[in-house]
Structure 1
Amino acid sequence: MILRFSASSSSRKEARKGVPAPLSGDFACRRGAGPASPPRRRLLKGTMSVLALSGCGTTLLSACGGDYTGGDGPQDAPTPVMNSVANFRDVGGAAPGYSTSDGAHFRRAILYRSDVLTANTADTATLEGIGLAGIYDLRTPVEADALPDTPLSTASYVSLNVLGTHAPPSFAGMSGPELDSAMQAHWREFVMGHTQCMAYGALLEQIAQAGGPVVVVGGKGVDVAGWAGALLLLIANVPLEIVVKDFLLTNAWRSTGVDEDNLAPPVQASYLQSAFDALQKGFGDLNRYLNAGLGLSSTTVDLLRGRLVV
């Protein structure tokens, strides 16, 4: 499975404030091989700018308000509604699950994501009913201590601090263009940063071995769960166009907007594009990134994909 990405760049600039200075990029992922040669790359030029302006495709119909009539199994069941948990959704999308490029579907009811898993009594009962086997918290210690995840009887808790800092970055006092620049730097660091590679590698390793459904918790500042979700969809061979549209659904699934601190800034396609560009420049294709960057064996990647696809 080889996926190649566009070298083009697009940004939907919005009037927003915030963000810290861009990351320094002092760390680099473990690399066992250099970038792929240009002939091996198939550039999807203009993809991001088109997707940023396009409407919902048929594979996102249910997620965008459409209906699906199917069976009564886990693949067809609606995602549980969490009134007290922002951005809680099935990584596989709405029923019947995102289509893959090889004719399968992303398995539903096995991988969820959320901003913060702080559930009220009713939602806690719903989460217990899902039978989650693991809660993977990608937030910094300050975020996790301030808003701890709701403990569940069935789930183990694993902290994987993606940013590698004690506290999240402050987004206050910067212009919209500065926000875009800093966010894109964070997303490049998701791919190239040593700490980030270690965290995402450990996350995918544990998801591959998980004994049941799991949830990835990412907070609401720098969208650390967004890159995890994108990677899982790409590993399952979900088309790039759908991966981008799913990423942008965060803006509909939680309350985003402009405030003086930018505590929950809207996500933009340009952030995901920055990660794609870094992956292509540093590794050439997804397989090299998973192996040389995240340290995953081909056996683990195959096991993970088998878990993700139905």
Structure 2
Amino acid sequence: MNLSFSAYTSSFAQARKRLPVAANGKLNRSGGAALANPPRRALLKGTVSLLALSGCASTLLSACGGEYTGGDGAQDAPTPVIGSVANFRDLGGAAPGYSTSDGAHVRRALIYRSDALTPSAADAATLERMAISNVYDLRTPAEIDAAPDMTPSTGAYLALNVLGTLEPPSFAGMQAGELDAAMQTHWRTLVTGRMQCSIYGALLEHIADAPGPLLITGGTGVDVVGWACALLLLIANVPLEIIVKDFMLTDAWRSTGVDSVNLAPPVQPSYLQAAFDALQGSYGDLNRYLTVGLGLASGTVDRLRGRLVV
């Protein structure tokens, strides 16, 4: 997958103010893919349903704690195991990092993801040793109040309410089909909503220049972190089939299940497909989504990719 990023021409993004960083380290809230070429559109339509049947490769499932021992640098080291924090894993996957379409690898030990950061004492000590510089919390205020992130002393905490609501949506009582339809609607909104575009743009802009390592945290309902990670992997030029399999790892590293409350429903390939379809339908390609939708300058996208790959 080759992504060409054209010059930044978005008057909307130039006019829109980026979210300010308050003195307490929190980002204030504001209201608000056939990727670069035609063959990519066909790939988006056919790949996700196929991958739903293929399962996750063992090399992907080793992303937490990794099995690769090809060297002694950060790119080759096992991901620290933070067992008390659900879905904690390295964006880059297992060593030596996810392969990109142009022969590079996603940089490991740079960006991590997880659910609410409520570690045990032992895991908190491990997180301190990791020297995380920034924790980006994408949850709603109600989720944060119920389980505040325990940010390491090395890191600044930034709260970015992607959904833009006081509390997450309720899926209580929904059966599988109804839940799937509701989640697809929310995933389309992650791509098309004005608030969501503003928040994801602010997140990526901050990541482009923030010192690593970084951690993105979220809740267990609508997987707002999942779309952030998919975007970062797309920018890194990771093949779509790897991105979908990485997304599905959430079900392997989190206790999930459809019940009467549906607090942590399993993720489905259809959710990511809905987001890709919304990206195509609203923007046509990834470059236009990043620049016009999220308001990123082409230089910011270049810095992001430079940080994400080795």
TM-score normalised per structure 1: 0.86
In the alignment, structure 1 residue 283 sits paired with structure 2 residue 253: no
Shift of the 206–37 alpha-carbon distance from structure 1 to 2, 3 Å rule, reads closer
Offset, 1:297:
0.3
Figure out how many residues of one structure are paired with residues of the other and give that number. Answer: 282
1:215 is paired with a residue whose SS is strand
Q: Structure 2: how far apart are the matches of 1:212 and 1:252? A: 26
Shift of the 197–247 alpha-carbon distance from structure 1 to 2, 3 Å rule, reads same
User: In structure 1, what is the equivalent of residue 3 of structure 2?
Assistant: 2
In the alignment, structure 1 residue 247 sits paired with structure 2 residue 258: no
In the alignment, structure 1 residue 175 sits paired with structure 2 residue 175: yes
2:216 is paired with a residue whose SS is strand
Offset, 1:299:
0.3
Q: Structure 2: how far apart are the matches of 1:265 and 1:118? A: 20
- 1:264 corresponds to which letter in structure 2? A
2:211 is paired with a residue whose SS is coil
Aligned partners of 2:35 and 2:287 also within 8 Å: no
User: In structure 2, what is the equivalent of residue 139 of structure 1?
Assistant: 139
User: In structure 2, what is the equivalent of residue 163 of structure 1?
Assistant: 163
In the alignment, structure 1 residue 54 sits paired with structure 2 residue 46: no
Shift of the 105–38 alpha-carbon distance from structure 1 to 2, 3 Å rule, reads closer
User: In structure 1, what is the equivalent of residue 188 of structure 2?
Assistant: 188
Specify which structure has the bigger relative contact order, considering alpha-carbon pairs within 8 angstroms and separated by 6 or more residues: 1
User: In structure 1, what is the equivalent of residue 202 of structure 2?
Assistant: 202
Spell out, residue by residue over 1:8-31, the C-alpha distance to the aligned partner (whole angstroms, 9 max, x if none): xxxxxxxxxxxxxxxxxxxxxx69
2:258 is paired with a residue whose SS is coil
Q: Structure 1: how far apart are the matches of 2:146 and 2:244? A: 31
Spell out, residue by residue over 1:66-98, the C-alpha distance to the aligned partner (whole angstroms, 9 max, x if none): 832210100011111112100000011011100
Aligned partners of 2:191 and 2:197 also within 8 Å: yes
Shift of the 145–53 alpha-carbon distance from structure 1 to 2, 3 Å rule, reads same
Shift of the 172–307 alpha-carbon distance from structure 1 to 2, 3 Å rule, reads same
Q: Structure 2: how far apart are the matches of 1:58 and 1:146? A: 34
Aligned partners of 2:128 and 2:154 also within 8 Å: yes
Q: Structure 1: how far apart are the matches of 2:35 and 2:224? A: 27
Q: Structure 1: how far apart are the matches of 2:110 and 2:164? A: 27
Spell out, residue by residue over 1:188-218, the C-alpha distance to the aligned partner (whole angstroms, 9 max, x if none): 0011000000110011011111112110001
Aligned partners of 1:279 and 1:285 also within 8 Å: yes
Deviates more, 1:40-49 or 1:183-192: 40-49
User: In structure 2, what is the equivalent of residue 20 of structure 1?
Assistant: none
Matches within 5 A, 1:1-310: 1-2=2-3, 42-44=41-43, 45-57=45-57, 60=60, 62-63=62-63, 67-310=67-310
Q: Structure 1: how far apart are the matches of 2:84 and 2:67? A: 24
Aligned partners of 1:61 and 1:67 also within 8 Å: no
Shift of the 37–269 alpha-carbon distance from structure 1 to 2, 3 Å rule, reads closer
Q: Structure 2: how far apart are the matches of 1:80 and 1:89? A: 8
- 1:211 corresponds to which letter in structure 2? P
- 2:174 corresponds to which letter in structure 1? M
Q: Structure 2: how far apart are the matches of 1:151 and 1:41? A: 39
Offset, 1:171:
1.1
Aligned partners of 1:244 and 1:269 also within 8 Å: yes
Q: Structure 2: how far apart are the matches of 1:170 and 1:78? A: 37
1:157 is paired with a residue whose SS is strand
What is the CA RMSD across the aligned residues, in angstroms?
2.2
Q: Structure 1: how far apart are the matches of 2:259 and 2:35? A: 42
- 1:149 corresponds to which letter in structure 2? D
Deviates more, 1:174-183 or 1:229-238: 174-183
TM-score normalised per structure 2: 0.86
Offset, 1:36:
9.8
Q: Structure 1: how far apart are the matches of 2:110 and 2:117? A: 16
- 1:240 corresponds to which letter in structure 2? L
Shift of the 36–60 alpha-carbon distance from structure 1 to 2, 3 Å rule, reads closer
Aligned partners of 2:86 and 2:114 also within 8 Å: yes
Q: Structure 1: how far apart are the matches of 2:231 and 2:40? A: 19
Aligned partners of 1:36 and 1:283 also within 8 Å: no
Deviating 4+ runs (over 4 angstroms): 35-41
Spell out, residue by residue over 1:244-274, the C-alpha distance to the aligned partner (whole angstroms, 9 max, x if none): 0000000000100122211100000000000
Q: Structure 2: how far apart are the matches of 1:273 and 1:195? A: 21
Q: Structure 2: how far apart are the matches of 1:156 and 1:39? A: 41
